């Protein structure tokens, strides 16, 4: 099968294409086939996990736009997810709006909130910004916990089962129907993000990441770009939050703590900063880790009862260890490992 051995573009159009070689189209076809076949191959339990992965993909892609591509580290992911989830739940269940409208409104609202909390980024960078977003996380969660109007004093919001027009999610085929909805949303979000970085705005994001003062010197409006990066990224995150609300059918603040922010950061780091594909790999990898460890402990629990007893602690330790190991040995993440594997096969039997 043909793989490219160099750059042979004769038109700008062909250079800008997302896929260049037949091998890449073949891989795309395989991937589509895999995604279509997946719900037929796995049981309901695993399909539920796949669904949470798809939601995580949307959120991780959003965070990667901000942290990986624009270089603005954010520990406020959980807070923005909460804004998306609470607002969509309130719009649809109490405001009586159609679900699609309420999700769109939630996305817009989260983008506005994100832009607001991104304002400190105009003066701060790096470490200081990380600490500022940590504060925004704590403040948003405090509001979500204490503002009784949000949950009408119950402490949680229960969201009615998804209904769009005549389409209705049934209890028996719950995971199955949600799989297709979430797949479509995740694919559209991933494509939108991938294409964002072929536009002027996306390039401005990357210029700000690489050297913000130099970017300003070549005419990138720093204020505008940074605030937009927060808004666009939070929009994706808000979408993930709204989907969580409608998929899980309850909204509580416990789902959006600082640990969630850290988990999302781990996803994009393990996947690869500044790579949309990396965000997808990372979201999959990190979301699969807990269920796989549970499976593992089920298998060995007769021989090694220690592991089953200590499972929660082992999960956390493995999570922390994976972050550390990736950062030390492959800071560019799974995406880079995948590239290297491809290079190895392409160049074999030569080293380079």
Instruction: Name the site residues for another protein (rule: CB under 8 A).
Output: 67, 71, 73, 120, 123-124, 126-128, 130-132, 134-136, 138-139, 142, 145-146, 211, 213-214, 217, 258, 262, 265-266, 269, 273, 310, 312-317, 319-324, 327-328, 331
At its nearest, how many Å lie between another protein and the CB of residue 315? 8
Nearest one of 68, 27, 73, 90 to 196, comparing CA atoms: 68
**CA terminus-to-terminus distance, the chain:** 20
| Residue number, 292 or 321, with CB nearest to another protein | 321
Distance from C-alpha of 136 to C-alpha of 125, rounded to nearest angstrom: 15
Q: How far apart are CA 248 and CA 246, in angstroms?
A: 6
The torsion angles phi and psi of 306, rounded to 5 degrees, stand at -55, -45
- What's the min distance (Å) between Cβ of 68 and another protein? 9
Q: Min. distance of Cβ 302 from another protein in angstroms? A: 20
- C-beta of 146 vs 171, nearer to another protein: 146
DSSP for 32-52? HHHHHHHHHHS-HHHHHHHHH
Q: How far apart are CA 70 and CA 78, in angstroms?
A: 19
Q: What are the DSSP E strand ranges found in 5-162?
A: 157-158
Minimum distance from CB of 287 to another protein (Å)?
16
Q: Least distance in Å: CB of 262 to another protein?
A: 6
Q: Please report, for residues 128, 159, 338, 343, the alpha-carbon distance to residue 350 in angstroms, rounded to integers and kept in the order given.
A: 46, 58, 18, 10
Distance CA 256, CA 264 (A): 11
Q: How far is the CB of 326 from another protein (least distance, A)?
A: 9
Q: How far is the CB of 84 from another protein (least distance, A)?
A: 21
Strands 250-251 and 157-158: antiparallel
Instruction: Select 56 or 270, whichever has its Cβ closest to another protein.
Output: 270
Name the residue with tokens 């939070």: 234
Write down how long the chain is: 352
Query: Which residue lies nearer to another protein by CB, 39 or 59?
Result: 59
Largest separation between any pair of C-alpha atoms in the chain: 67
Q: Decide whether 247 or 319 has the Cβ nearer to another protein.
A: 319
Q: In terms of CB distance, is 39 or 272 closer to another protein?
A: 272
Of 24 and 330, CB closest to another protein = 330
């Amino acid at each position: 099968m043909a793989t490219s051995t160099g750059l042979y573009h004769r038109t700008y159009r062909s250079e800008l294409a997302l896929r260049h070689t037949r091998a890449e189209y073949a891989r795309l076809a395989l991937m589509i086939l895999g995604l279509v076949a997946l719900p037929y191959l796995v049981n309901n339990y695993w399909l539920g996990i796949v669904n949470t992965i798809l939601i995580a993909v949307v959120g991780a892609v959003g965070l990667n736009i901000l942290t990986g591509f624009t270089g603005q580290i954010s520990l406020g992911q959980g807070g923005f997810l909460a804004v998306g989830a609470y607002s969509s739940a309130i719009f649809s269940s109490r405001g009586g709006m159609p679900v699609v409208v309420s999700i769109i409104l939630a996305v817009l609202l989260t983008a506005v909130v994100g832009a607001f909390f991104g304002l400190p980024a105009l003066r701060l960078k790096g470490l200081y910004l990380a600490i500022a977003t940590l504060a925004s996380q704590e403040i948003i969660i405090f509001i979500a916990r204490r503002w009784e109007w949000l949950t009408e004093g119950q402490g949680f919001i229960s969201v009615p089962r998804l209904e769009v027009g005549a389409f209705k999610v049934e209890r028996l085929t719950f995971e199955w129907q949600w799989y297709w909805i979430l797949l479509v949303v995740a694919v559209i979000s991933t494509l939108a993000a991938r294409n964002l970085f072929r536009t002027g705005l996306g390039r401005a994001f990357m210029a700000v990441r690489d050297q913000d003062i130099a970017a300003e010197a070549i005419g990138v409006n720093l204020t505008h770009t940074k605030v937009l990066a927060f808004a666009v990224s939070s929009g994706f995150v808000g979408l993930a939050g709204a989907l969580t609300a409608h998929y899980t059918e309850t909204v509580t603040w416990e789902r959006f703590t600082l640990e969630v922010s850290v988990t999302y950061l781990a996803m994009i780091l393990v996947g690869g900063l500044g790579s949309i594909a990396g965000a997808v790999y990372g979201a999959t990898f990190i979301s699969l880790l807990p269920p796989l460890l549970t499976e593992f402990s089920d298998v060995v629990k007769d021989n090694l009862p220690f592991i089953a007893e200590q499972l929660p602690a082992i999960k956390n330790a493995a999570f922390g260890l994976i972050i550390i190991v990736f950062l030390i040995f492959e800071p560019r993440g799974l995406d880079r490992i995948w590239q290297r594997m491809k290079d190895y096969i392409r160049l074999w039997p030569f080293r380079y």
